[in-house]
A = this chain, B = another copy of it.
Amino acid sequence: MNPVRMAMIGGGPGSFMGPVHRRAASLDGLVRLVAGAFSPDEARNRLAAEEAGIPAARSSTDAIALLDREAALPEDERAELVSIVAPNHVHAEVAAAALKRGFALFCEKPLARDIAEAREVVELATSQPGRVAMAYTYQGYPMVHEARALVAAGTIGDLRRVSASYTQGWLAERAEQHGNAQAAWRTDPARSGSSGCFGDIGVHAQTMIEFLSGEPIAEVMADIQVAVPGRRLDDDGGLLLRMTGGARGTLVASQVCAGEQNRFEVTLFGSKGSLRWAQEQPTQIVFTDAAGRATIVSANPAMMIDPAARAALRLPGGHPEGYIEALANLYRAFAWRLRGLGECPLPLPGIDRGLSSLAFIEAVLESSRTRGWVAVKS
């Protein structure tokens, strides 16, 4: 297969997601980085382009200018896919520009800083079905798909309760004041959007709950806070939730729990058993049956029921795959779709997912402000 040509927006020196996306895109040889607006800073952009082997002609400090230039190249040469890994305030504008110019779009979450800002890109995406995917990396883990398949197969019976917890400690102190670029923009409302912690990681928990259960969160009762004085965006919070189907749940997201690395754990409890998945041990899920027997299902085709999850594995059982491989699974699925190899069985998060995260954040903020239950708009 001829690799999909990709332009990257953002991801210059110091970026967390830039190198992850570059590695993930290249892992299977299905996507090739050919252009980039890696940084608005001239020197930093040049450095990134050189490291990536991108000629100056296909690099720019101005994302829109780059898209214009790429669109003007011959069809078999220009970038086909635009991957946005820049800070949040850039997402919506560049996403819309990319779609208008006919590029396929792979956009880091969030889609925009808020729902209003997302309107144009949603309209554009709606008119071009299948051309937009959102980089919810955790949706690329094979065992997440296996878990969803097990739930869908009735393994845990009727869903009764959901517990999701995503705790980090990297903002336990005011890292944004000590030269941490990641912390700086993520705690800045202008660049990050209306929410800090919930916009950054709370939405992963929301997405995982909805993906695994197959049903949306209907309403939330939230209590979010700024735990570290002086910060302007939430860095910690918890909420009660009710699923559309009636199950209840709790969701915690925090970036101020000192010592926590990237502990993202979800459990679904049902009338016949439960399923647990934890991001720090992503190659396994624990299914507990009604008698209490806990079975560890690991990333090995011999134990798995979901064809998509099995197909997403690159290695035999017992050979760990991780975070980069998860994101690479999303790139692979998108590349297959763009090359018309038939829809990849691994479902790819789309524009609706980006939108529902924004609706979730809005409900969380309103609930916390009003100290009451708020329905999540869908």
Contact pattern, A 256-283, Cβ under 8 Å of B = 1, otherwise 0: 1111111100000111111000011110
**Chain B residues within 8 Å of A3, by CB:** 53
Given A19-B314, A320-B323, A325-B324, is A271 in contact with B290 using a C-beta cutoff of 8 Å? no
Report the nearest B residue to A317, measured CB to CB: B261
Contact pattern, A 301-332, Cβ under 8 Å of B = 1, otherwise 0: 01100000000001111111111110000000
- Bound CA–CA A27/B26 (angstroms): 7
- Bound CA–CA A22/B314 (angstroms): 12
Contact pick for A26, options B26, B298, B300, CB 8 Å: B26
Contact between B290 and A259, CB atoms less than 8 A apart: yes
Chain B CB within 8 A of A154 CB: no
Contact between A321 and B318, CB atoms less than 8 A apart: no
Given A256-B271, A294-B296, is A223 in contact with B225 using a C-beta cutoff of 8 Å? no
**Chain B residues within 8 Å of A359, by CB:** none
Given A168-B318, A225-B248, A238-B250, is A259 in contact with B274 using a C-beta cutoff of 8 Å? yes
Contact between A293 and B290, CB atoms less than 8 A apart: no
Chain B CB within 8 A of A236 CB: yes
Report the nearest B residue to A269, measured CB to CB: B257
Report the nearest B residue to A295, measured CB to CB: B295
Contact between A319 and B318, CB atoms less than 8 A apart: no
Contact pick for A292, options B169, B271, B294, B372, CB 8 Å: B169
Contact between A23 and B16, CB atoms less than 8 A apart: no
Contact pick for A372, options B161, B300, B303, B372, CB 8 Å: B372
Report the nearest B residue to A272, measured CB to CB: B258
Chain B CB within 8 A of A221 CB: yes
- Bound CA–CA A298/B161 (angstroms): 23
Report the nearest B residue to A223, measured CB to CB: B240
Given A256-B271, A371-B373, is A318 in contact with B29 using a C-beta cutoff of 8 Å? no
Chain B CB within 8 A of A249 CB: yes
Contact between B258 and A249, CB atoms less than 8 A apart: no
Given A254-B269, A319-B262, is A291 in contact with B302 using a C-beta cutoff of 8 Å? yes
A228 smallest CB distance to B (angstroms): 8
- Bound CA–CA A226/B256 (angstroms): 34
Contact pattern, A 149-172, Cβ under 8 Å of B = 1, otherwise 0: 000000011001101010111101
Chain B CB within 8 A of A71 CB: no
- The 10 A-B residue pairs with the shortest CB-CB distance, nearest first, are A262-B318, A261-B318, A320-B322, A257-B269, A259-B288, A261-B317, A291-B302, A319-B323, A294-B296, A322-B322
29 contacts between A and B (CB under 8 A): A23-B28, A27-B27, A29-B51, A29-B53, A160-B254, A161-B167, A161-B256, A163-B165, A168-B318, A221-B371, A238-B240, A257-B274, A258-B271, A258-B273, A258-B274, A259-B274, A259-B294, A260-B274, A261-B298, A261-B300, A261-B317, A279-B318, A279-B320, A281-B320, A293-B297, A295-B295, A319-B322, A320-B323, A321-B322
